[in-house]
Amino acid sequence: MNKLIFKSLLILILFSNSFLNAEIDIGAKTGILQDYLSGKILYEKEPDMKIYPASMTKIMTALIAFELLKTKEITLDEKFVISEKAWRMSTSGYSSMFIMLNDEVTVEDLLKGIIIVSGNDACVALAEGIAGTEEEFVVLMNNKAKELGMNNTKFSNSSGISDADNYSTVKDILIMSEFLIKNYPEYYVFFKETTFTWYRTGGDPITQGNRNPLLYHDIGVDGLKTGFLTVEKYSLASSILRNERRLIAVGSGFKSKSDRGKKSKKLLLWGLTKFDTIKIAKNNEKFISLDTWLGKKKKVDVYTKDDVYVTVPKRKKKTISAFIEYIKPVPAPIEKDDKIGVLSVFLNDELLSEHDVFSMEQIHKVNIFSRIFKSFNFLVWGDV
């Protein structure tokens, strides 16, 4: 095996969350901040504390619908009939899009009613339209939570209204938010819309604004959901995108609506200014070319199937090293997607991650005469 060292300019320092957490106070009972590309947790405060997620529950409700849209089991223009149960949620005291009994409403309007104006009535209507009953829809929600590894979460309804059996953690809300952003970008755009006008049947249009205060600050925030319950106080799952770098934050137990916005903004901007994220390899893109032995091409292009990023504290940096371990030169014949070697990324001589490296192309072996000639050169001159 040979080790090809290809990066020595990447730099960082070992750091602990407790050290960094001391630099910022978010004023909430529990919170977490993650760099989306690297997956690095930049901040956490009691991330496994049990919370009542309130309207952050609606992220999962939307996620289930997005999944069915992607598999074409439902469509955006499909209409669901509004039941009495859903209609009764359209009352003062509840967040609502004010749907009407027995009306027919499209999936797209219900999703916007959920995501933008946080309508509890829209949640029930969507849940019933998809699964028949809200109770059956909750089964889908909990199955998905289990699939995603949300090990400290249980959903009991589709809207997040007060229920002791509807609980989660900021870590689990982060897992769910990250999955939604990654897998449903075509529908995630609903989360950044600041207003929704509901052209209801038999009444004047109703326009309501998005409940997420950070959308109005022009700082790059494009989601996700606020929440409020008297027992939990204020919560917010938020995400910011700047210069192709994304951070996701979740906080719960903010003392006031004002604190929820200010402190979440502070946490997101702290993460952007305190850290850099460095790309080492992008999945399915040419990463580097390696020498071949007895191949019709002298080099083979290789790639990783994973994105490889490292998040780095700014201005406090030491060297990161990364190398590919492989047989040098790579012997032909080589098939497309053959495993060529292993990319290892180290931080201060401590292994951070390993990623298999694959051939991007098929390379045939040269004919017998070329093989004899190349072998002779190698024996005499060491030339491959």
Whole-model pTM: value is: 0.86
In this structure, are residues 342 and 325 in contact, taking their beta carbons and an 8 Å threshold? yes
pLDDT of residue 88: 92
d(CA 357, CA 305): 8
Contact 237, 252 (CB under 8 A): no
10-residue stretch averages of pLDDT, the chain, 384 residues long = 46 44 83 96 96 97 98 97 93 82 96 97 97 98 98 97 94 98 98 95 90 96 96 96 95 96 97 90 90 85 91 70 87 91 85 90 74 54 54
Q: Which of 95, 118, 177, 238 is catalytic?
A: 118
- 183, with CB counted inside 10 A (0-12, 13-18, 19+), is middle
Task: Say what the pLDDT of residue 1 is.
Answer: 54
CA distance 176 to 360: 33
Looking at residue 10, its pLDDT comes to 39
Domains in the chain, ordered, with CATH?
2-11+280-381 (2.60.410.10), 28-254 (3.40.710.10)
- Please confirm, yes or no, whether 359 is among the known catalytic residues: no
| CA 171 centroid distance within chain | 12
Are 310 and 270 a contacting pair, CB within 8 Å? no
DSSP H or E stretch at residue 346: strand 339-347
Q: With contact defined as beta carbons under 8 Å apart, do 215 and 192 qualify?
A: yes
Q: H or E segment at 210?
A: none
**Residue 263 a catalytic site member:** no
Catalytic residue list contains 225? no
The pLDDT assigned to 295 comes to 77
pLDDT for res 207: 95
Instruction: Quickly tell me which residue has 């955006």 as its tokens.
Output: 76
The single residue of 29, 58, 192, 263 carrying the catalytic annotation is: 58
pLDDT tens per residue, range 238-249: 999 999 999 999
Task: Report the 10 Å Cβ neighbour count for 39.
Answer: 12
Q: Buried b / exposed e across 50-71, counting CB within 10 Å, b at 16+?
A: ebbbbbbbbbbbbbbbbbbbee
**180-238 confidence digits (pLDDT tens):** 999 999 999 999 999 999 998 878 899 999 999 999 999 999 999 999 999 999 999 99
Active-site residue identified among 55, 95, 264, 359? 55
Burial-class residue 107 by CB neighbours within 10 Å (0-12, 13-18, 19+).
buried
